[in-house]
Structure 1
């Protein structure tokens, strides 16, 4: 079986990005405007954890979704894991989102270096708008952008989720994810949800249908 995460070309890119991310220096305050917020964090990686990346890869390999949507591409660490799984499945496409132009360019360069650019389209602008043209059904969603927007982004995508679609949210230990967790953990909203104990927490929710 193919495992692109073990390929030297992919591993070298991920090792470099994780090493750079370990040096992240966060600003003390952020603008409230989403675009200004994104631009203020233009040099901050904000990555998933290595174990979180392996979980994402495994979920995509298992579910074999035709369409994968990622809210919050940043420098492309999570995107590479998703794209590697799509490539190994031999089908599907990843649609990412990134508001900051420099990060979009860097993510594209990292995907090119990893040999996975053909599996990904990184969309510019606010994901609530840029995702509007993605055709369903969507089989897997990763929510790793601004935490206060995870719930609105999910709700905007719900009409396109196929029954059984997986929704993965990162950093669920953050207080700003409380509204999101309350939503996906309420069976009335159509999800079966469980937290995975990776760094900062990942919530994996199965959409059972409206």
Structure 2
């Protein structure tokens, strides 16, 4: 009997290939967006950033996606929580693993209504929509209203919000829960990294060298 790998489903593989191709244009798209956005001395808030970057993919890497798939397959989480859906590249990897595990669900969060709508269309197209719930709005609000444990967490939204979102979820993290944060090289993630790398805060943390780096932290 051939083992099942939903990432190889033609619908999923085609969607991922298409989105990764579009993501290769992110740098040019970002420059165009910045040029068109009104200049202000005040920093943009989370919603303003989401609106300004509604066309930008900001994806995990293909290797990072496969790493997430493998982690989910290995630990069989009942509820996977993702901070930052974007267009759904990482979400597809999470949901594919949940599908192949035969159990579980993915709860993802997204500030951009345009991105959430595009992601939902892709999830339906790939046949994984029954496993995924997208919560639109600020994750600090939407995740607070979700009951139950968080058995695997991916933090890939705005980097300065990763630590507040983690602290929000901490009461729902059982010992052994894995928390993964993407883009360890980004300056805005420094407070989060300082927190999970400090043993006094209850994590064993390691940096995995894939693309811009993923921090994998185990709740102790």
Name the CA distance, whole Å, in 2 between partners of 1:28 and 1:105: 23
Name the CA distance, whole Å, in 1 between partners of 2:123 and 2:117: 10
Correspondence for 1:8: 10
Question: Which consecutive unaligned segments of at least 5 residues does structure 2 have?
Answer: 38-42
One of 55, 62, 67 as aligned partner of 1:50: 62
Name the CA distance, whole Å, in 2 between partners of 1:62 and 1:112: 26
Name the CA distance, whole Å, in 1 between partners of 2:188 and 2:159: 6
Higher strand share: 1
- Tell me whether 1:205 sits opposite 2:217 in the alignment: yes
Name the CA distance, whole Å, in 1 between partners of 2:126 and 2:216: 27
Runs of 4 or more, structure 1, over 6 Å off, are none
Correspondence for 1:102: 114
Name the CA distance, whole Å, in 2 between partners of 1:66 and 1:172: 27
Correspondence for 1:66: 78
Deviations 1:43-87 (A, max 9, x none): 000000000000000000001000100000000000000000001
Name the CA distance, whole Å, in 2 between partners of 1:136 and 1:187: 26
Correspondence for 2:23: 21
TM-score scaled by structure 1? 0.96
SS, match of residue 162 in structure 1: coil
Larger-gyration structure (1/2): 2
Question: Which consecutive unaligned segments of at least 5 residues does structure 1 have?
Answer: none
TM-score scaled by structure 2? 0.92
After superposition, the CA RMSD in angstroms is: 1.2
CA drift at 1:189: 0.5
Deviations 1:171-201 (A, max 9, x none): 0111111111110011111100000111111
- Tell me whether 1:132 sits opposite 2:134 in the alignment: no
Correspondence for 1:117: 129
Name the CA distance, whole Å, in 2 between partners of 1:169 and 1:82: 14
**Corresponding residue pairs, total:** 208
SS, match of residue 194 in structure 1: strand
CA contact (8 A) 1:136 1:161 kept: no
Matches within 5 A, 1:145-164: 145-164=157-176
Name the CA distance, whole Å, in 1 between partners of 2:186 and 2:123: 29
SS, match of residue 205 in structure 1: strand
SS, match of residue 164 in structure 1: coil
Deviations 1:114-159 (A, max 9, x none): 1100110000110000001222221100000000000000000000
Name the CA distance, whole Å, in 2 between partners of 1:171 and 1:33: 20
